[in-house]
Amino acid sequence: MISLRHVIVFLLLLVTATRAWSGTPAARVPVLTDEEAWKKMTFVETERGRQLPVWIRALAVSLPKTAAAMIDLDYAQRMESTLPPLLRAKLRWVAADANRCAYAKAYARFDYVRAGGKAEDIDALPKQMDKLPKEERIALQLVKQLVEAAYTVTDEQVADVVKIHGEKQTVAIVLVAAYANFQDRLLLALGVEVEPDGPYLPIKVSFPKPVKKAPATEDKKEKPKRIVSPPAKEPPPVPEKLDDPEWTALSFDALRQRLDKQIARRQARVRIPDWEAVRAQLPPEMPKPDKPIRIKWSLLTYGYQPRLSAAWLGGLRAFRQESDLDPVFHESMFWVVTRSLQCFY
């Protein structure tokens, strides 16, 4: 007689076999095939038809322009960083390890081996940390700390890294941590596993040059209505109140005081390039701003790492074109993140 247990085992085997058949690794969201994803990204001009990482195929379901920009960002980070490839792979591995992201660890390991390293060396990294040369150790420690508790990083710590690596490379090191903290969160939320024949090499893509529009036209232009899947008619209840003592422990007035301290801070931990210096080295593919950029964050990242920053901002621009999230709502979410991380800039 067939028991319930037999039925469950059969169903599990069926799911596994189906995944293996389609070549699609596990994910908690729908994932397109390579062909379907490339069809959605018709505007991509080079290296079309290559095998795409699962997270890109998942993103392309709803955000194809953003997904294409993410392919470029991934390429820039993995192939065009100014850091030595072995060090970059180690930094990325340490960040993925701290975030407990197995997918990103596998990719960092792949990049490390591709750059000439031994897989067993990167696997042993946590145990070997103290024995590494100082220049490597302080960079790895900085990235690990940025992942785990960025607000605890000290002026002296960054000064040490700058002294050894210089400002440009220090910014590149921090941008590995920044990308890792974005990508790992995305990967973990999507619940993706490494592709059956992955990890894959990064893909070089290019896009048509943006056509410059008159600002007035840009402002008035309405976004095309997207076909979106509707929310549930009766969504599940959400707790009426946030029950989180750590959250409410810091009063609104205390937060204002921290903000004031951030304004009062006299200088950043590295020199911030001025607009003229930044403008002179903006990558050619980047749309040239009409007005000078005055955001210190942007001056710093563009000034020291123009290619990585243009790739990141390209993703952000694509997302803004495709997403119809209300700006007040998404900034409110960002506020929740900055409060959670105690980031007052």
Partner 1 sequence: MGHVEMCLAVAGLKEESVNELTRRLSGDWSDFSAAERAAFAFARKQASEPASIADADVRALEEHYGRDGAWHVIWWASRCHYMTKVADAFQLPLERDNPFWSMPGVPSKPREQKKVLHK
Are 34 and 57 within 8 A, CB to CB?
yes
Closer residue to partner 1, CB minimum distance, 10 or 247 = 247
| Cα 331 to Cα 257, 262, 336, distances in angstroms | 21, 19, 9
Q: Which of 151, 223, 280, 281 binds partner 1 (CB under 8 A)?
A: 151
Q: Which of 185, 274, 277, 281 binds partner 1 (CB under 8 A)?
A: 185
Which of these segments, 4-12, 117-125, 194-202, 267-275, binds partner 1 (CB under 8 A)?
A: 267-275
Q: What is the largest CA-CA distance in the chain?
A: 80
Q: Measure the CA–CA gap between 159 and 177, rounded to whole angstroms.
A: 17
Q: Which of 16, 22, 206, 262 binds partner 1 (CB under 8 A)?
A: 262
Are 103 and 192 within 8 A, CB to CB?
yes
186 interacts with partner 1 by CB under 8 A = yes
26 interacts with partner 1 by CB under 8 A = no
224 interacts with partner 1 by CB under 8 A = no
Residue 154 CB, nearest distance to partner 1 (Å)? Answer: 10
228 interacts with partner 1 by CB under 8 A = yes
Helices 296-304 and 306-322: crossing angle in degrees, nearest 10, is 130
Closer residue to partner 1, CB minimum distance, 21 or 252 = 252
Closer residue to partner 1, CB minimum distance, 50 or 320 = 320
Site for partner 1 in 87-126 (CB under 8 A): 99-101
| Cα 173 to Cα 142, 148, 194, 205, distances in angstroms | 9, 16, 25, 24
Task: Specify the residue for token string 């994932």.
Answer: 31
Which of these segments, 2-10, 111-119, 131-139, 153-161, binds partner 1 (CB under 8 A)?
A: 153-161
Please list, in sequence order, all residues whose beta carbon lies within 8 angstroms of the beta carbon of residue 61, skipping any fewer than 6 positions away: 29, 30, 31, 32
Which of these segments, 16-24, 76-84, 114-122, 294-302, binds partner 1 (CB under 8 A)?
A: 294-302
Q: Measure the CA–CA gap between 198 and 213, rounded to whole angstroms.
A: 41
Helix (H, G, I), strand (E, B) or coil at 133: coil
Closer residue to partner 1, CB minimum distance, 47 or 324 = 324
Q: Which of 128, 206, 248, 257 binds partner 1 (CB under 8 A)?
A: 248
Which of these segments, 84-92, 128-136, 211-219, 277-285, binds partner 1 (CB under 8 A)?
A: 211-219
Q: Which of 26, 268, 277, 280 binds partner 1 (CB under 8 A)?
A: 268
76 interacts with partner 1 by CB under 8 A = no
Site for partner 1 in 162-181 (CB under 8 A): 174-175, 177-179, 181
Q: Which of 36, 47, 260, 274 binds partner 1 (CB under 8 A)?
A: 260
244 interacts with partner 1 by CB under 8 A = yes
Count of residues binding partner 1 (CB under 8 A)? 108
Helix (H, G, I), strand (E, B) or coil at 259: helix
If one counts every other C-beta atom within 10 angstroms of the C-beta of residue 138, the result is 19
Q: Measure the CA–CA gap between 38 and 48, rounded to whole angstroms.
A: 7
Site for partner 1 in 40-59 (CB under 8 A): 59
Amino acid sitting at position 291: K
Q: Measure the CA–CA gap between 282 and 312, rounded to whole angstroms.
A: 13
Which of these segments, 11-19, 31-39, 83-91, 147-155, binds partner 1 (CB under 8 A)?
A: 147-155
Q: Burial level of 224, CB count in 10 A (0-12/13-18/19+)?
A: exposed
